[in-house]
Every structure is written in C-alpha cells, then in structure tokens.
Amino acid sequence: AQTVTQSQPEMSVQEAETVTLSCTYDTSESDYYLFWYKQPPSRQMILVIRQEAYKQQNATENRFSVNFQKAAKSFSLKISDSQLGDAAMYFCAYTNTGNQFYFGTGTSLTVIP
Amino acid sequence: GAGVSQSPSNKVTEKGKDVELRCDPISGHTALYWYRQRLGQGLEFLIYFQGNSAPDKSGLPSDRFSAERTGESVSTLTIQRTQQEDSAVYLCASSERGSITDTQYFGPGTRLTVL
C-alpha cells in the first residue's frame, strides 16, 4: 500500500530565510507523481509544485523547489526567501493513477517576521 | 464559477442525524473528488467521479457514506446516522479530466461537527 510520511509536524523559519520540509513515501510502482500542496487558514488547498517520478530533474516553481531522491523515496520541499504569506500547512501527496491520492499528515510552517 | 465551491461552510448536527454536503466543481471539469480531513490529519480519499464512468468508492469508510454526482456538475456527499467520529472537514476537488497530469482544484471545505 502507498503511504506518505511527513515527520515534521511543525517548522518555523525567519522571513527571507530558507526552509526545507521533509516527505518520504512508500510505493512499489515505478511511475507516479508527487505533489506539495499548501493549505492556508482559509482551508483552500493550493498546488505548490509537482514532480513526475520518471523525470530526474528536480521541479522548480519560483521560490519553491524540490529535492527528489527516487531511490530513497524522498521528496523534500525547499522554500527560499520565505515570506509571511508562506505560513500555512504543507501537505505532501502521491498518486500513480490520477484517481486516488495519498496525503501525508502535514507540516505547519510558521514564518517569523 | 471561478473556482470550486462547497456548501455549507460549517454544519453542526446531532449524533444520529443525516447530513448532506454539496460541491460545485469548476465548469467543464469532468473529474471530482471527495476527501475527509480530520483534525491534525492529512486528507483521506473518499470517492472519485470521472464523467459517466462508475465512481471509485473504495475510500468510503462505511455504508453510512454515499455520494452522487449529476452528470459533470454538482455532487452531494451524504452521511447517514452521523457519529461523532464523522466530525471533520470535508473537502471537494475537481480536475479537467482526472488524468494523472491534471491539477486538482480544491474547494474551501465543509466543517462538520457532530455533537
């Protein structure tokens, strides 16, 4: 069964600094997608970044980048130049089918001014 | 509409009552998902609709839970004889085709409290 683990319930970062959120997953599939979603207090989940497992190059979206280690089944999110608006819950997610998605338990990120 | 909408935003009910939660997906999106998010937990997949195909109900936790979707529009999630452990935020999402490459767009959720 696929599982997604986020071992950091809470993280904090100083404004303008860099923070890395960790995620590991378990799967026997070779082709799949990994995601990071952001959930602010408004509860609206927003896709931050997506990584295709067959692509070796790490995905990047502006200040957000991932470190995808397929052999280690690790998928961490790096937020550079942290901003106050980055404060939210961050969820790591996995799918290999497009219809069933598996989410981690989330990391609450606090940005300190 | 511009995004996925859900109603009500909050629902308080008594144990044993039935509740109905509504989701309006983005117009034109053929795929629709329901998730449950318990306090301090990640999202738990409940059910998936794709066009006119039979829904994937494998995530529904019990036969008290059911969901319907009218064509490619509104969906309702019904919980019968609610229990306190049903208290959670119920999130709906839609995507263009339900393809693995599609982005899911989430609604703001319905917070259900069962007393």
Residues 6+ apart with CB under 8 A from A85: none
Residue A2 pLDDT greater than 80, yes or no: no
How many residue contacts between A and B have a Cβ separation below 8 Å? 61
Rounded to an integer, the average pLDDT of B42-59 is 90
Q: What per-residue confidence (pLDDT) applies to A1? A: 58
Beta strands in chain A (DSSP E): 3-5, 10-14, 19-21, 24-26, 33-39, 46-52, 60-61, 64-69, 74-79, 88-95, 102-103, 107-112
Rounded to an integer, the average pLDDT of B20-24 is 97
Q: Which residues of B touch A99 (CB under 8 A)?
A: 31, 33, 48, 50, 56, 98
Which residues of chain A approach chain B closer than 8 Å at the C-beta? 4, 6, 33, 42-47, 50, 91, 93, 95-106
Residue A4: count other Cβ atoms within 10 Å of its Cβ: 23
Indicate which of B106, B110, B111, B112 best probes the interface with A, i.e. most A CBs within 10 Å of its own CB.
Answer: B106
Residue B7: count other Cβ atoms within 10 Å of its Cβ: 14
Q: In this predicted model, what pLDDT tens digit does every residue of A48-86 receive, in sequence order?
A: 999 999 988 899 999 999 999 999 999 999 999 999 999
Q: In this predicted model, what pLDDT tens digit does every residue of A38-53 receive, in sequence order?
A: 999 888 889 999 999 9
Whether residues B48 and A46 touch (CB distance < 8 A) is answered with no
Indicate which of B104, B110, B111 best probes the interface with A, i.e. most A CBs within 10 Å of its own CB.
Answer: B104
Give the percent of chain A with pLDDT over 90.
80
Q: In this predicted model, what pLDDT tens digit does every residue of B76-113 receive, in sequence order?
A: 999 999 999 999 999 999 999 888 788 889 999 999 99
Q: Which residues of A touch B103 (CB under 8 A)?
A: 47, 50
Residue B70 pLDDT greater than 90, yes or no: no
Give the residue from A100, A5, A97, A109 showing the smallest Cα distance to A48: A109
Q: What per-residue confidence (pLDDT) applies to B94? A: 93
Residue B68 pLDDT greater than 60, yes or no: yes
Confidence of residue B41 (pLDDT cuts 50, 70, 90): confident
